[in-house]
Amino acid sequence: MKPSTLVPLFCIHLAILFGAAGCINSPLLNHAAAREASNEPQKNLSCSDLKLPNAEAGENSACPLFFPNAGLCASLTWEKKQSENEKGSFVIRFWDEKAGNASGPYVEPNDTVFVELLMISMGHGTYPLPITSPALDCENKAIPGVYRTKNVYFMMPGEWKVFVQLKHGNMILESSSLSHTQ
């Protein structure tokens, strides 16, 4: 068999291979594109807003984040979603499971509030870590039961879990999570 015969044959095989890419769910031909930048409306909550109810993403149920041992519920309100230039931030509000609701009154947990972001499907977290601290009112005083998480950074697109934890020292007492698609 001459090379002049074999080369076209080889090329045909390559063409078949490329053609097959379209038939077997090729990622190249079946994909979504990541957003170039966040188109979500950005809402910068002022210090006075933090005390007010604010039904937002993740607050579809009466108790979006449940901490049964502490008897607390919590909500998560995005303040600013991650964009190309900035990391995101959100506000977490805690209330008594029986005596309160998303509108308040807000209750200070007895334990330290900590937030962790995990991409369960890939089996890893992210870095830098988010920073959670008590939200401050207009007089720079901590608002009981309201926390602000800054530096929220999802390092790749996909399905993430936002874990809100109650910790005592290094020990995690309770953990509750919400899904987030980046």
Partner 1 sequence: MKTRLLLVSLCFWSFTLVTANPALAAPCCSGSSAMPALITGDDAAQLSAALSYGTVIGDARDGDLTPIFRSSLHSENTTALRLDGAKLLSDRIQAGIGFSILSRSFSEGRNPVYATRAGDLDLNLGYEFLPEWNYSAWKPRGHLFLLTTLPTGRSIYEAREPGLVDATGKGFVRLSLGSVLIKRWNAWDASLVAEIHHSFTRTFEAGISNPQNQRISAGWGTSFAIGGGYSPGAGDLRLGVRVQPSFAEPKKITTPSSTFRSGRMQTIDTSFEASYLLSDRGGGSWTTFASYIDQTLLGPAAHSTLSRTFALGLQHRWDR
| CA–CA dist 75, 152 (Å, integer) | 16
Cβ at position 11, least distance to partner 1 in Å: 10
Cβ at position 162, least distance to partner 1 in Å: 14
Cβ at position 140, least distance to partner 1 in Å: 28
Q: Specify burial of residue 146 (Cβ count, 10 A radius: 0-12, 13-18, 19+).
A: buried
Q: Which amino acid is present at 77?
A: T
Nearer to partner 1, 105 or 157 (CB): 157
Nearer to partner 1, 3 or 41 (CB): 3
Nearer to partner 1, 47 or 129 (CB): 129
**How many CA atoms within 13 Å lie on the side-chain side of 61?**
8
Q: Check if the beta carbon of residue 179 is closer than 8 Å to that of residue 76.
A: no
Cβ at position 126, least distance to partner 1 in Å: 7
Binding site for partner 1 (CB under 8 A): 1, 3, 6-7, 9-10, 13-14, 16-18, 20-21, 24-28, 30-37, 84-85, 114, 116, 118, 120-129, 155-159, 165, 170-172, 174-175
Residue pointed to by tokens 């995101």: 88
| CA–CA dist 70, 91 (Å, integer) | 19
